[in-house]
Amino acid sequence: MTVRHRILHLSDTHFNSPDVDAPAALAQILHDARHVTDLDLVVVSGDIADDGSAEGCAGVREQVGRFCAERGIPHVYCTGNHDTRDAFAAVLGSGHLSADGTDTGTTMPEASGMRAAVSHVAGLRVITLDSLVPGQVHGHLDEAQLAWLRDVLAEPAEAGSVLVLHHPPIAVPTSPIMDVVNLRNGDELADAVAGTDVHAILCGHFHLQLSGLLRGVPVWVTPGVVTRIDFTAPPRWERAVLGAGATVVDLGGPASPLFHLLQARDPRAGEQVYLVDAVSGDDVVEEQP
């Protein structure tokens, strides 16, 4: 099988998090990914800065940018619910950066400030969407953004397209919160991508690996860099543990797309960071019920 494009997919770096050492977590997974060969692109699918700050965005750009500069490859970012559009734009511009940091993205021509953009990497069209709803945890794509997406996808790209957005349009049915905090209008996104050249939809937000289909289009949720959600917690409780993760996405060949997981070799991996009641929204608790 010939792999035409290989993407390192990161998400949820959460710089300036009060709970963990986020810069150390990102440094660890990038260090452990240093031997992954033939990368064409690094994607960071939102929640770049836990506090939405320009400082946090700059810290992530510096680490990821250095990793990409050493390999001569671009890096692409989208907004998450923790991000702010002004800080994102100030530090990351369109969110589509070349290996030397030049902004290569074409942004959505819309005055609302949405940070949706598109660029091309060796024939692969990379489209970032802005599912941020300020002050909310869930995601939404407005009609103007969906209309822009339909226009972009109207003509097939040489090597097809990938979408990058923070909020997944899928959810695990037994989860008490996923269908509350995910993308609220996934059906409308499905309408926009149906019958197009989209190979995969890359998301974050859930802090765990998850795959599914959106009307036949593969959706992949990469694990978080800053923490991992542990699904072995008791019902209605959400447990976050240490252990940075990432995904290598291979596009091309009869089995495309392929997703395989990387986990940082962290001696503290699995150590509990917090445990919360996902139903009531109670604050962090110290002991498991």
Summarised one tens digit per residue, pLDDT across range 216-250 is 999 999 999 999 999 998 888 899 999 999 999 99
Closest alpha carbon to 226 in 13, 8, 4:
13
Q: Evaluate if residue 289 carries a pLDDT over 70.
A: no
Q: How confident is the model at residue 95 (pLDDT cuts 50, 70, 90)?
A: very high
Cα dist from 178 to 40, 131, 171, 254, whole Å: 31, 15, 5, 32
> 154-212, pLDDT tens digit by residue?
999 999 999 999 999 999 998 888 999 999 999 999 999 999 999 999 999 999 999 99
Grade residue 1 by pLDDT with cuts at 50, 70 and 90: very low
Q: Helices in 154-245 by DSSP H: which ranges?
A: 178-181, 186-193
* pLDDT above 80 (res 3): no
If pLDDT is split at 50, 70 and 90, which confidence band does 281 have?
Answer: low
Query: Is 220 strand, coil or helix?
Result: strand
Find, among 174, 159, 147, 165, the residue nearest to 237 by Cα: 174
pLDDT bin (cut points 50, 70, 90) of residue 286 is very low
The yes-or-no verdict on residue 253 having pLDDT over 70 is yes
> Can you give the pLDDT at residue 2?
54
Q: Which residues of 29-46 are buried (b: 16+ CB within 10 A; e: fewer)?
A: bbebbeeeeebbbbbbbb
pLDDT of 273 higher than 50: yes
Q: Has domain 5-277 been given CATH number 3.20.20.70?
A: no
Cα gap 92→57, rounded to integer Å: 8
CA distances from 164 to 7, 254, 284 (A): 12, 22, 30
Residue type, 69: A
Query: Is 117 in a helix, a strand, or coil?
Result: strand
Q: What is the pLDDT at residue 240?
A: 94
